[in-house]
A and B are shown apart, each in its own frame.
Chain A
Amino acid sequence: NAGVTQTPKFQVLKTGQSMTLQCAQDMNHEYMSWYRQDPGMGLRLIHYSVGAGITDQGEVPNGYNVSRSTTEDFPLRLLSAAPSQTSVYFCASRPYGGGNTEAFFGQGTRLTVV
């Protein structure tokens, strides 16, 4: 049982480059989300989705795009990478329900922008 799979695990980008972080889950969860983790700031929500075709912005959405064409996949796109986007990125999924359902996290993608 794979759970939430993120690729790649590590990535180095040059300023201005674009890339897509992949996230896939095999638990048929309706809710998916992307967080970034920075020292001392915990995890901050970038974008989230409550189902296929539905996305919304979180706390820090600038510079990122998402789409949700299938239940399983929720890619995060960096449009023009900046050094401020150097971070560890986590994708999470959780089943439909109230705010009391458990979120399952991927292993993270460590991104460095030089």
Chain B
Amino acid sequence: AQSVTQPDIHITVSEGASLELRCNYSYGATPYLFWYVQSPGQGLQLLLKYFSGDTLVQGIKGFEAEFKRSQSSFNLRKPSVHWSDAAEYFCAVGAHNAGNMLTFGGGTRLMVKP
């Protein structure tokens, strides 16, 4: 069965600083990988996804993520954080089976200092 680990429960960065959120996955084949963001009191919104091809994927709101098969990682990055980026971020892996349901990591809560 697949699993996802997000090692950092909380991260605080200063506005304008760079950001990297870590994600490690366990899956037997080439994974489908996703990053979702959840603003307070809201549902989840897709930031970006990786299926195949170029290992650096671009998403919305200036985010990008890099798939590294050798490290089983899919870290999310942003060069300059804005106060509005404060939210909870979830990494997820999608299975190849008929259900194709997502398995989520525990989430990383990002706080942004002015």
Task: Tell me the residues in window 87-114 of chain B with beta carbons closer than 8 Å to chain A beta carbons.
Answer: 90, 94-107
Q: Report A37-74 CB contacts with B as 1/0, cut-off 8 Å.
A: 00011111100101000001010000000000000000
Number of interface residues of A (CB under 8 A): 28
Are B32's CB and A98's CB within 8 A? yes
Are A98's CB and B107's CB within 8 A? no
Kindly state the separation between the CA atoms of A44 and B49 in the bound complex, as whole angstroms: 20
Task: Tell me the residues in window 12-40 of chain B with beta carbons closer than 8 Å to chain A beta carbons.
Answer: 32, 34, 36
Kindly state the separation between the CA atoms of A96 and B49 in the bound complex, as whole angstroms: 17
Question: A1 within 8 Å of B by Cβ?
Answer: no
Contact of A45 among B43, B45, B98, B103 (CB under 8 A): B103
Are B95's CB and A99's CB within 8 A? yes
CB A46 to nearest CB in B, in angstroms, measures: 10
Are A40's CB and B106's CB within 8 A? yes
Question: B46 within 8 Å of A by Cβ?
Answer: yes
Known contacts A48-B99, A98-B32, A100-B51; A42/B44 CB under 8 A: no
Contact of B106 among A42, A90, A97 (CB under 8 A): A42
Number of interface residues of B (CB under 8 A): 29
Are A90's CB and B44's CB within 8 A? yes
Contact of B9 among A4, A40, A105, A107 (CB under 8 A): A40
Are A50's CB and B98's CB within 8 A? yes
Contact of A50 among B95, B96, B99, B103 (CB under 8 A): B99
Kindly state the separation between the CA atoms of A104 and B106 in the bound complex, as whole angstroms: 19
Q: Which residues of A contact B (CB under 8 A)?
A: 4, 31, 33, 35, 40-45, 48, 50, 56, 58, 90, 92, 94, 97-103, 105-108
